[in-house]
Amino acid sequence: MEFSPATVAFAFGLTLFAGLATGVGGLYSVLKKNPTDRFLAGSLGFSAGVMLYVSMVELLPEGVSSLAEEMSEKGANWLAVAAFFAGIAIIAVIDRLVPENINPHEPDMTSEKEKKLRRQALMKTGMMTSVAIAIHNFPEGFATFVSGLGDATIAIPVAVAIAIHNIPEGIAIAVPIREATGDRKKAFTWAMLSGLAEPAGALVGFLLFMPLLGPMTLGVIFAAVAGIMVFISLDELLPAAIATGRHHSAIYGLVAGMAVMAVSLLLFL
């Protein structure tokens, strides 16, 4: 199928806009002076809520829907569930392979050592979240790009909705890295690089994979990414939030994140 340069530029611009919203979340996090434990717990909980809600309400059903275009509804559901847990298994293996000789919950540690181990755990959380979100953003960027090649009245709300999703994702990346390193520039850079996976996905998809990517491939990818994001939320974001000592702030943040995502999805139905 042939597309005019203007159409391609419009579609890529929408994808770039959505991806840069991750940097907006990162920028907000690094500009906020001396974040309190309550802010840290609330932000990490909020991001966990975003990722959990998007994974279970949007990505996994989208995976089932894509697979159902090529196979029976029952088969699509089984394959989507298999891909979902495969995604969890993949990120769990990666998590186990990351060298870690620390235990943040060891009771007999000195105060300074506890602080050091907490920084190490937060850095790992931020980096793993960045990788997971980048993996999620890659096919998401291609999906946004494809919608931009079609009807603009559909593509623009899709891009705005994804941008809304990406702002708290930037917070999820930047907050723990800033707390771990004290380096605002590094925290913002990681958030921005994760967001740029979205236009990268659009570019690579358009140049190489568009003839190869069908409903089956996209369905498996969406379901697997949902599993990855659920694991990151439950294994990294929520424990890091609760470790601040602000348990209620973490849970309130989680509920708020789910509510924001629910409203953003309803606005663009």
pTM of the model: 0.63
Neighbour count for residue 157 (Cβ, 10 Å): 14
Neighbour count for residue 155 (Cβ, 10 Å): 20
Query: Which residues fall in the annotated binding site for Zn(2+)?
Result: 140, 165, 169
Q: What is the pLDDT of residues 198-243, one digit of tens each?
A: 898 888 877 876 676 678 877 887 788 788 888 878 887 788 788 8
Query: Which residues fall in the annotated binding site?
Result: 137, 140, 165-166, 169, 198
Helices (H), the chain: 5-31, 37-53, 60-68, 73-97, 111-148, 152-181, 184-204, 215-232, 238-242, 247-267
Integer Cα distance of 136 and 59 in angstroms: 10
Average pLDDT value for residue range 17-33: 82
Integer Cα distance of 159 and 169 in angstroms: 15
pLDDT reading at 107 higher than 50: no
Integer Cα distance of 56 and 44 in angstroms: 18
In sign, the C-alpha dihedral spanning 127, 264, 43, 16 is positive
Query: Which residues fall in the annotated binding site for Fe(2+)?
Result: 137, 140, 166, 169, 198
Domain ranges of the chain: 38-99+112-267
Integer Cα distance of 205 and 109 in angstroms: 49
Q: Highest mean pLDDT: which of 131-135, 141-145, 156-160, 170-174?
A: 170-174
pLDDT reading at 67 higher than 70: yes
Q: What is the pLDDT of residues 149-182, one digit of tens each?
A: 766 666 776 677 677 767 777 877 887 788 777 7
* Residue-level pLDDT at 22: 87
Q: Are 76 and 67 contacting, i.e. CB atoms less than 8 angstroms apart? A: yes
